């Protein structure tokens, strides 16, 4: 595979780098960021945390705002942040912020015109890890995390692929997209009107039916203005309870949906993942 290095910045003894590559899965050029901790320079292969961002975000938001590099360097964990959707001329888009470019929802679209490019599920599960593991000094020990739409993506991907991930975490995820406006709009466009096809991208439904478990941590702010209508953490919590799923769901008074919330608790998430990645 051919990749182009767009930028490099030393950080806490490691390197934050941004790359572009042509994705065969998405039929367009894609950008991703990677933080390589100092341990990756010693010849050792380090485990990887994949971070999936939310609506309107790119590969840059988490790397610039979350403050994760210091602890990732200490723990010896690489972080990979892909973009949130295909982009570019000829890639389908929508005027709304919650559909189209910047809003891929981590699904494999089946409906035109979206199905030509919007195969984000396959990209995150297969193509991107294959590229990362072939081009960088990382192991095949993986964890996955995300925020909002990306929290939905992280949970559904881990639940559907328990053999591929050691752990999963999310901030303010869309827990029950089949029953919220964001999910219903995106799923109708990308997957069509047959709601049975939506179920494989709903974390609450997947968790209720899971046979294999990936340890999960979810943090939710109580002052999140999307909490009641869009996020529905109580549905995920009920699903976990019904299936004895190893989910720790924490609620935090006063915190909203922003990266101020993520930066406040990202250390907990990295230590959570380290327990499983470095076991």
Residues with catalytic function: 148, 224, 257
121, HSE (Cβ side, Cα atoms, 13 Å): 19
Residue 123 contacts residue 105 (beta carbons within 8 Å): no
Token couple for 12: 């806490």
Question: Please, what sign has the CA dihedral across residues 130, 118, 182, 242?
Answer: negative
Q: Is 67 left (phi over 0), alpha (psi -120 to 50) or beta?
A: left
Name the residue among 145, 139, 148, 147 with its Cα closest to residue 158.
Answer: 145
Secondary structure (DSSP) of 8-28? EEEETTEEEEEEEEEETTTTE
Q: Please classify residue 130 by burial: count the beta carbons closer than 10 Å to its beta carbon, then call 0-12 exposed, 13-18 middle and 19+ buried.
A: exposed
Q: Is 172 left (phi over 0), alpha (psi -120 to 50) or beta?
A: left
């Amino acid at each position: 595979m051919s990749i182009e290095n767009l930028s490099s910045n030393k950080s806490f003894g490691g390197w934050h780098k941004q790359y572009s590559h042509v994705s065969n899965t998405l039929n367009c050029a894609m950008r991703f960021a990677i933080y390589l901790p100092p341990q990756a320079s010693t010849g050792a292969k380090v485990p990887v945390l994949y971070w999936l961002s939310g609506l309107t975000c790119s590969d840059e938001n988490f790397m610039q705002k979350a403050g994760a590099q210091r602890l990732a360097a200490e723990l010896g964990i690489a972080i990979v942040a892909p973009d949130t959707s295909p982009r570019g001329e000829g890639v389908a888009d929508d005027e709304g912020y919650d559909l189209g470019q910047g809003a891929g929802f981590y699904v494999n679209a089946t409906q035109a015109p979206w199905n030509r490019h919007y195969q984000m599920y396959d990209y995150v599960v297969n193509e991107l890890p294959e590229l990362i593991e072939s081009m960088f000094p990382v192991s095949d020990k993986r964890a996955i995390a995300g925020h909002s739409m990306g929290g939905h993506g992280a949970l559904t991907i881990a639940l559907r692929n328990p053999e591929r991930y050691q752990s999963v975490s999310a901030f303010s995820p869309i827990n029950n997209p089949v029953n919220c406006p964001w999910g219903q709009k995106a799923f109708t466009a990308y997957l069509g009107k047959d709601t049975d096809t939506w179920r494989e991208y709903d974390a609450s439904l997947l968790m209720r039916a899971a046979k294999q478990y990936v340890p999960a941590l979810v943090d939710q702010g109580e002052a999140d203005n999307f909490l009641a209508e869009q996020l529905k953490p109580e549905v995920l919590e009920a699903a976990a309870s019904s299936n004895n799923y190893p989910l720790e769901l924490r609620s935090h008074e006063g915190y909203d949906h922003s990266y101020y919330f993520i930066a406040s608790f990202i250390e907990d998430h990295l230590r959570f993942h380290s327990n499983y990645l470095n076991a």
